[in-house]
């Protein structure tokens, strides 16, 4: 399934710049480098990755459990939240402490594992009417 995901940081209800060194390190641990690169996983997951001062964007072409694990690991390591571009105010939060920094118009959902994130992202893709890749 295809779906765009945005990893971003919020503090005091406002989006804030991410820590570029922490993001670069987290991505490198997953074998990713550069501002634009392709992320491919052993189970067939595919996404184009775009990185800037606002965070990371995964333009997911094929969502798989391993790709969800990669996104989950990066979000956890960098304290970023996952915003699916599904037309809803959903935001997936890996660390409960990050909920306090979110704006009031977002609806946080705590995901405690990459498997939980995968299931929620699949549901988001279906909500948006994404087609299987």
Please write the tens of the pLDDT for every residue from 5-59.
999 999 999 999 999 899 999 999 988 888 888 999 999 999 999 998 889 999 9
Q: Hey, what are 17's tokens? A: 């710049």
Confidence grade of residue 63 (pLDDT, cut at 50, 70, 90): very high
Confidence (pLDDT) at 86: 86
Rounded distance between C-alpha atoms, residue 72 and residue 67, angstroms = 9
Q: Hey, what are 85's tokens? A: 């571009």
Q: Specify the pairing of strand 107-110 against strand 90-93.
A: parallel
In a domain, 57, yes or no: yes
- The average confidence (pLDDT) of the chain is 91
Rounded distance between C-alpha atoms, residue 44 and residue 62, angstroms = 7
For position 27, which CATH number holds? Answer: 3.30.310
Q: Which residue range forms the structural domain that includes residue 77?
A: 3-128
Q: How many domains does the chain have?
A: 1
Average pLDDT over residues 63-67: 96
In a domain, 133, yes or no: no
Average pLDDT over residues 78-97: 94
**Cα dihedral sign for 110, 35, 87, 131?**
negative
Rounded distance between C-alpha atoms, residue 95 and residue 107, angstroms = 15
Confidence (pLDDT) at 131: 46
């Amino acid at each position: 399934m295809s779906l765009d995901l945005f990893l971003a940081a919020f503090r005091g209800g406002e989006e804030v710049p991410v820590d570029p060194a922490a993001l670069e390190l987290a991505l490198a641990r997953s074998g990713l480098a550069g501002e634009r690169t392709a992320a491919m996983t052993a189970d067939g997951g595919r996404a184009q990755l775009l990185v800037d001062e606002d965070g990371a964007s995964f333009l997911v072409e094929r969502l798989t459990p391993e790709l969800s694990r990669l996104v989950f690991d990066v979000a956890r390591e960098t304290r970023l939240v996952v915003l699916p571009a599904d037309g809803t105010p959903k935001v997936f939060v890996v660390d409960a402490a990050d909920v306090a920094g979110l704006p009031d118009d977002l609806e946080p959902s705590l995901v405690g594992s990459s498997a939980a994130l995968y299931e929620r992202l699949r549901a988001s893709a279906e909500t948006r009417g994404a087609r299987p890749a």
